[in-house]
Amino acid sequence: MKWESPNKTPNVGFGTEKQYWVAVKSAGILKPLVFLALFQNRPLDHPLTYDWQVTDENGEAFDAVGWVECQRHMDYDNFYSSIIFTESYVLLGWAEYTPPEFPALLMRGDR
């Protein structure tokens, strides 16, 4: 796994998203935090109509071009929240995410 510079933007196709590892430094926490996040390229104000509109916790569509987290909700569909980087919450880098193979699927011959 190769960590990319926080100044570099992932190459994510128009209207799509891709999952990555991200490393952040948060004020008050000594060690960097590493977690999975999505980079989305789903602009809100594109002149064409697409079914990819991304909604927040209030069901409002937003311009989803950048880093987001998918949040789960028991009462309705999942929603996304933007990851806001600041002076006290700094993106250190990001890396490609390759999910590990699940053994039960391999035993059945599925991929």
Interval 18-73: pLDDT, tens: 999 999 999 989 999 999 999 999 887 655 555 555 666 676 666 778 999 988 76
Q: What is the rounded average pLDDT of the residues 2-23?
A: 94
**Which residue range is the domain that position 33 belongs to?**
17-108
Residue at 10 is within a domain: no
Question: 3 — phi, psi (to 5°)?
Answer: -80, 135
**pLDDT at residue 42, as a whole number:** 82
Of 8, 108, 1, which is closest to residue 67 (Cα–Cα)?
A: 8
Residue 8 domain-assigned (yes or no): no
Confirm whether 28 is domain-assigned.
yes
CB 14 within 8 A of CB 84: no
DSSP state of 67: E
- Work out how many domains the chain is built from and give that number: 1
Q: Is residue 5 part of a domain?
A: no
For the entire predicted model, the pTM comes to: 0.76
Residue 67 lies in a domain: yes
Q: Decide if pLDDT at 6 tops 90.
A: yes
User: Is a pLDDT exceeding 80 seen at residue 111?
Assistant: no
Q: Residue 53's pLDDT is what?
A: 57
Which pLDDT does position 26 carry in this prediction?
A: 95
The answer to the question of residue 97 being in a domain is yes
